[in-house]
Structures are given as C-alpha cells and as structure tokens.
Amino acid sequence: MRSIIYQALFLAALVFVVWLLVTNTIENLRARGLKSGFDFLNSRSGIPISDTIIDWNPDDTFGRAYFVGILNTLRVGIIGIVLATILGTIIGIARLSSNWLVAKLASIYVETIRNVPLLLQLIFIYAFVGNVLPDQLNPIVIGAGFYLNKSGLIFPLLKLDTAHYIVGGVLLASLVAMLIYNRWAKRRQYATGVAPKRLLPSLGILIVPAVAAFLAMGAPAEFDVAAKTRFRFIGGGSIGPEFLTVLVGLVIYTASFIAEIVRSGILAVSYGQTEAAGALGLTRGQTLRLVLLPQALRVIIPPMTSQYLNLVKNSSLALIAGYPDVVAIENMTMNQTGRALEAILLIMAVYLTISLSISLAMNYYNKRIALKER
C-alpha cells in the first residue's frame, strides 16, 4: 500500500516536472520566434562536408547529411575499435613481459596516455599534423605506395574486378563450411571421446578454396598507386588529416585502457590453473587454448565492451578536428536551422542505438560464457 502511494507521488512529481519543461519550452520557442519539428530534414542543407563515404554535395538535404554523419561515426568507430584492440593487446602483453625494458616502456606509455585528456591529445595531434608534417609535394615516403603529408595518408588501392568478388563469395561459403565442420567435430568428441583435429582442417577449409579460386582466375592483383604530378598526388586512396587525427588519437588513447584490461585479465587466471593443466597432460598450446584463454576472456570481455562504447562515444570529439561525424554535422545543422532540440535528439538517438545494440549483444555473449554454477 505504502509503495503504491510513494509511486503515485513520484509519478505526479514527474508529470509535473515534464509538464513544466514542455510548457516552458513551447513558451520560450514562441517568444523567440523559433519553429520546431523534423521537417527541416527534407530541405536543402547547403553545408559543405569534406570527407564522406557516400556522395555528397551541398544541395543535398539535412536528412542525407545526418546519414553521412552516422556513416562517418561508424567508420571511425569500427576502424578505431579494431586498431585499438590490436595495439592495446600488444601493449597489455608487453607490460607483463619478462623483458624489463619492454615492460617499463609499455607502462610508461599507459601511465602517460591515460592521465592526459583525450581532447588535449586530439588538439595536439591535429596541430602536429597541420604544422609539422611536410606539405603535399614533399611527403614522407613510407614505402610501397604509402605517403604521409599535411593532407593525410595516401595509400595504394586494389583495383576490384569480378574475380575479387568471386573470391569473396568463395571465402564466405568456406567460412560456413568451417563452422559446420567444427560443430560436427565437437559433437563427435562428445559422442566418442576422440577429438578430431580442428585447427588445421579448419584453416584448410577456409583458405584452400579461396586461394585455388584466386589462382584459377589468374591471380589478378593490380594496384592503383598514387602518382605525383606537378601539383598534387593523383590516384590511390587517401584519408584526410581530420580522419587521421581522430583515428590516431582515439586508437592511442583507448589502447592504453585496453592494455590494462588485457593485463588484468591475464593476471586474473591463477598460476594453479596452468599447473593443473600441466598435471592433466595438456600441451602448452592446449593449456592456452582450453584453460587460460577462456577464463581470461571471461574477465576481459565486459570491460572491453565498455571501452569499445567509450571509443564510439569519444569519437564525438572529432568535432574539434573538423572531422564530419554525426555530432559535427548536427552541430552545423543546429547553426543553420536553429533546431537545437531536434538536432540534439538526433545525436542522442544515434549513440543510444549503438550503445544499446552493443550491450544487448554483450549480454547475450556474457550469458553464454558465464560460469555454469550447479
């Protein structure tokens, strides 16, 4: 009974506050002569966007600009997550190295990067790219068609033709075949107690058909390498200085957190587990694969997910480097149309969708790997 009264009171207060906010907002909007609604999404934007995945010109609508922004956020998020995981894992393992120098260098990296705000690092990297890197025509030559200069990173592109799509298709089919094989192997092991070999056949199923198809079609691998003309580089792929800044900043920063997660995950598995596996006669590889890794992953995965989410959320700082992610574009939209409420809701919707879908996926995964207590 009491709890019902409390909840009714709470609801009443909540309704009152919401009513107050809504009436105030309507009143304020009217007083300032501002319109509201999402109709602006269909009107011509007129904003220039420098770095897009899909085609863009200023005559397109605000709705398309929003979509361009979402794609850019996802692009920096996904590439950033992959690179940060690789770098972070290497540094996390390096911190546990028996080599004193390696361990010290890794811990200096982690302590320094973690304790300085990301925004400051991004501004610094951006200033560095703009001031220190050489200009367009005198790039730093990295080799193999890679160049680095003020206007970003230039790299060779694979010229795609039908053969590559066919190889891609074959690869996809063999991936399915590999999963089926592994399932069969697992069932067989449960049924008979004899474990069929898994690693080599799996790799074979995955790689051999694709390589065979690739060779059968004459191994077409033509690269579009950038060439220097009198004024600029032509051809090849390139990523702009803004994207480069944001990506490098996010990867360096997030890697320092991932390194700590990896380290603590490895340390969380007690040495007794290794000894017990040895006593059971497992080989080193089996110990790692069947005993250590599954237990370490259980510790690593949840905080790792929250780091991935942080990376995606932190990519909103791309604004200051001029990278047109969803926040930057909606910020421009806000300035053009004056629809602050709508623009902010659009921004929040993107991040909430990403956050919720990642955490749903993670909850599912966590349930699967959680300790089965009996």
Partner 1 sequence: MAVSDTATESAAIGPPPATTGFLGWMRKNLFSNVWNTLLTIVCAYLIIRIVPPLVSWLFLDATWGEAAPQQCRAAEGACWAFVTEKHRVILFGRYPFLEHWRPLLGICVLLTVVLTSCFRRCWRPWIALVWIGGLGAFFVLMFGGDVPIGLRAAAAAAAGAFLIATLRSSGSTRSLLFGATALFALLALAAGPIFRVIDGVLNAAFGTGPLLAGATGIWFEIPTGLGFVSTSLWGGLPLTLLLSILGIVVAFPLAILLALGRRSKMPLIRMFCVGYIEVIRGVPLISLLFVGSFLLPLFLPRGVEISDLLRAQVAIIGFSAAYLAEVIRGGLQAIPRGQFEAADALGLSYWQKMAKIVLPQAITIVIPPIVNTFIGLFKDTSLVSIVSLTDLLLATKDIALADVDWRAFYAEGYAFIALIYFVFCFFMSKYSQYLERQFETGRQKRR
Residue closer to partner 1 (CB basis): 31 or 199: 31
Smallest distance from the beta carbon of 102 to partner 1, in angstroms? 5
Which residue from 67, 240, 211 is spatially nearest to 152, judged by alpha carbons? 240
Smallest distance from the beta carbon of 329 to partner 1, in angstroms? 13
DSSP 3-state of 140: strand
Smallest distance from the beta carbon of 125 to partner 1, in angstroms? 10
Smallest distance from the beta carbon of 271 to partner 1, in angstroms? 19
Residue closer to partner 1 (CB basis): 124 or 184: 124
Q: Where are the beta strands (DSSP E) in 96-210?
A: 140-143, 146-149, 152-155, 157-158
Which residue from 174, 163, 171 is spatially nearest to 217, judged by alpha carbons? 163
d(CA 350, CA 360) in angstroms, rounded, equals 16
Smallest distance from the beta carbon of 360 to partner 1, in angstroms? 12
Residue closer to partner 1 (CB basis): 288 or 334: 334
| β-sheet with 152-155: strand ranges across | 140-143, 146-149, 152-155, 237-239
* C-alpha pair distances (Å), 257 with each of 73, 117, 318, 361: 21, 13, 19, 21
Smallest distance from the beta carbon of 260 to partner 1, in angstroms? 11
Smallest distance from the beta carbon of 175 to partner 1, in angstroms? 32
Smallest distance from the beta carbon of 250 to partner 1, in angstroms? 12
Measured at the CA of 176, the angle between CA 172 and CA 182, to 5 degrees, comes to: 140
Which residues of this chain interact with partner 1, rule CB under 8 A?
3, 6-7, 10-11, 14, 20-21, 23-25, 27-29, 31, 97-102, 105, 111-112, 114-120, 123-124, 127-128, 131, 309, 313-314, 316-317, 319-320, 327, 331, 334, 340-341, 344, 347-348, 351-352, 355-356
Residue closer to partner 1 (CB basis): 65 or 312: 312
Judge contact between 89 and 254, C-beta under 8 A.
no
Q: Work out the burial of residue 373: count CB atoms within 10 Å of its CB; fewer than 13 is exposed, 13-18 middle, 19 or more buried.
A: exposed
Residue closer to partner 1 (CB basis): 34 or 195: 34
Residue closer to partner 1 (CB basis): 170 or 341: 341
Report which secondary-structure segment, H or E, holds 27: helix 2-31
The phi and psi torsions of 34 (rounded to 5 degrees) equal -95, 145
DSSP state at residue 44: B
Residue closer to partner 1 (CB basis): 26 or 179: 26
Hey, what are 301's tokens? 């995965």
Tokens 């579009």 sit on residue: 224
DSSP state at residue 54: S
Smallest distance from the beta carbon of 195 to partner 1, in angstroms? 31
Residue closer to partner 1 (CB basis): 90 or 213: 90
d(CA 231, CA 64) in angstroms, rounded, equals 33
Residue closer to partner 1 (CB basis): 100 or 231: 100
298 Cβ contact partners less than 8 Å away, ≥ 6 residues apart: 369, 370, 371
